[in-house]
Amino acid sequence: MQRIPEADHEADLAAFYDRQATLLHTRALTPHRVECRDWFIRLLKDEHRHSLFELGCGTGIEGLKFVEAGIHYTGVDLSEESIHLARAKGLDASVASGRALPFADATFPAVWTMSTLLHVPNTRIHDVLSELVRVAAPGAPIGVGLWSGDDEEVLNPEDEDEPRRFFSRRSDAAVRHIFGAHGTVEHFETWPEGTGAESGPGAGKWIQHYQFLVLRTPSGPTG
């Protein structure tokens, strides 16, 4: 297993996505990702949840879809350039780290974070998940998307400019274990990596699939 020295991965990620913001601003989501988002929106409506927080909102591609569905939206991202573009779309978005979210406890009825937590090292993942659970209401669904791996932490070989992106590539079993420590994993599905627009990071050097889960936060005390 390749060992990546502990570093300020967040600053490196912010620098990378600042450079890529304009390109990502126009990139379409894959059909599987769209299906998962639409399914999650139906879940929110069925449960009468009218507000959502997104960690790693990027330029607001999905945020717009939540707003169009009638859901009040709040997003944060590490990239200032991405947030600039998200705000230009009229979205409530700000620069913040998942390690210290600027929101009160139990603020949001639902949370969404796609292809973001895979950038969080294992030394920090429980801190970030604790923050997501903290700002989510008791019993809230947290929708999560990740690219799988063989439980290794690596720098992306397809990134041509330094600093490259850090990835924690977790197996299905590891994901279930890590997330299960913070609530109930009530939905878990995967689909294989495709080609072209359906392909993930790694420039074809990684064997991987996409992981989508819903973590249900603890309901809290009753009575």
pLDDT tens-digit profile of 165-200? 999 999 999 999 999 999 999 999 999 999 888 899
Q: Determine whether 176 is exposed, middle or buried from the number of CB atoms within 10 Å of its CB (0-12, 13-18, 19+).
A: middle
Q: Is residue 66 assigned to a domain?
A: yes
- 151: containing domain: 30-216
Q: Is residue 65 assigned to a domain?
A: yes
Q: Is residue 141 assigned to a domain?
A: yes
Q: Is residue 68 assigned to a domain?
A: yes
Give pLDDT tens digits for 129-139: 999 999 999 99
Q: Which of 15, 19, 16, 35 is nearest to 198 (CA)?
A: 35
Q: Is residue 20 assigned to a domain?
A: no
Q: Is residue 57 assigned to a domain?
A: yes
Q: Are 184 and 138 in contact (CB under 8 A)?
A: no
Confidence of residue 223 (pLDDT cuts 50, 70, 90): very low
What is the tally of structural domains in the chain? 1
CATH of the domain at 147: 3.40.50.150
Mean pLDDT, the chain, integer: 93
State the Cα–Cα distance between residues 132 and 114, nearest whole angstrom: 13
Q: Is residue 179 assigned to a domain?
A: yes
Q: Is residue 49 assigned to a domain?
A: yes
Tokens (6 digits) for 120: 């969080």
Give pLDDT tens digits for 113-126: 999 999 999 999 99
pLDDT at 147 exceeding the cut of 50? yes
Confidence of residue 64 (pLDDT cuts 50, 70, 90): very high
Confidence of residue 8 (pLDDT cuts 50, 70, 90): confident
Residue 223: other Cβ atoms inside 10 A = 2
| Helices assigned H by DSSP within 109-182 | 125-135, 172-180
Confidence of residue 221 (pLDDT cuts 50, 70, 90): low
Q: What is the pLDDT of residue 24?
A: 67
Q: pTM for this structure? A: 0.94
pLDDT at 4 exceeding the cut of 70? no
Tokens (6 digits) for 62: 């999905």
State the Cα–Cα distance between residues 135 and 191, nearest whole angstrom: 29
